[in-house]
Copies of this chain bind each other. A is one copy, B any other.
């Protein structure tokens, strides 16, 4: 399917920002926070407990994933952000990023990965993706992001 996954580097920052904007899934504030998290991951690197990967499809930047080990846990990691360019939706980019992330963090000792996402109808596609990738719902916080916008927590045991 022409998708390759490699380490995210600082030269990917503009492309990552463009994917975040193009996805139309995030508010301006959310894009800025996502870029802050990405900058922390690029600056801190694996020594600071981060993991970040880029996906290319037919040679073009198509998305990225960024996560880290969860403080005060022995073997739990969080996905902080994952985003796929809308032009590449349905082409296996999200799956390739997720599988690469999971294999990498398992190698670093992870035994489970947590993802927090929205319970809004327009996030149904994202939730179906996690369901089909082996993530199980472990919590739901009503009105967490804002009124009518719940947080749904997923956990995958590796």
Which A positions have Cβ atoms within 8 angstroms of B?
Answer: 29-30, 33, 70-76, 111-112, 114, 138-147, 153, 155
**Do B141 and A72 have beta carbons less than 8 Å apart?**
no
**Interchain CB contact under 8 A, A74 and B33:** no
Measured between alpha carbons, how far is A21 from B2 in the docked complex, in Å?
Answer: 55
Report B-chain residues with C-beta under 8 Å of the C-beta of A33. Answer: 71-72
Provide the main secondary structure of the chain A interface.
strand
Nearest CB in chain B to that of A30: its residue: B72
Residues on the B chain within 8 Å of A144, using CB? 70, 73, 76, 112, 114
CB neighbours (8 Å) of A143 from chain B are 111-112
Q: How far is the CA of A153 from the CA of B155 in the complex (A)?
A: 14
Cβ–Cβ contact B74 & A145, under 8 A: yes
State A112–B140 Cα separation when bound (angstroms). 14
Q: Of residues A76, A112, A141, which shows the largest number of chain B Cβ atoms within 10 Å of its Cβ? A: A141
The 6 closest A-B pairs by CB, nearest first: A139-B139, A74-B146, A138-B141, A73-B145, A139-B153, A141-B155
Q: How far is the CA of A20 from the CA of B143 in the complex (A)?
A: 33
